[in-house]
Amino acid sequence: MIIDEIRVLLRAKSNALVRRSAQDMAALLHHDFIFVTAGGRTLTKADYIDVSCISGKLVYVSQTVRELEIRRFEGFTVATMLLDDVLALDDREITETFRALCVFTNPDGRWLWAAGQTMRPALP
């Protein structure tokens, strides 16, 4: 089932972030990957790997996915979710929930993360 396959990929992404594994993260990302951060910055695949795994400016302690919804389109799949993150940013610990949108593609029978965006959820 597709939702289970996407859950596996999201779990692998979270694990790569926490372990700061650039190699594992690179294997999950499409070569033309693009990401828009909650702060409005646009990152390429190389930028995302550097920021999240290499530089040490952003260090994930944990990331939990909840409220995952999947929509399948011709040629790609979109997932929306809430991410409960615990991270260190410039040596400040932050616990925050983000709304995320991820676009996945399956060009060779293996899911890859092609694009994403995070933002703070709207207040009730």
Under DSSP, the state recorded for 74 is T
Residue 124's pLDDT is what? 62
Instruction: Return per-residue pLDDT of the chain as tens, 124 residues.
Output: 788 999 999 999 999 999 999 999 999 999 999 999 988 999 999 999 999 999 998 999 999 999 999 999 999 999 999 999 999 988 899 999 999 999 999 988 899 999 999 998 776 6
Rounded to the nearest 5 degrees, what angle is found at the Cα of 4, between the Cα atoms of 113 and 15?
A: 55
What is the rounded CA–CA span in Å between residue 79 and residue 20?
Answer: 23
Q: Would you say the pTM of this structure is higher than 0.75?
A: yes
Residue 108's pLDDT is what? 87
Residue 123's pLDDT is what? 67
Question: What structural domains does the chain harbor?
Answer: 2-115 (3.10.450.50)
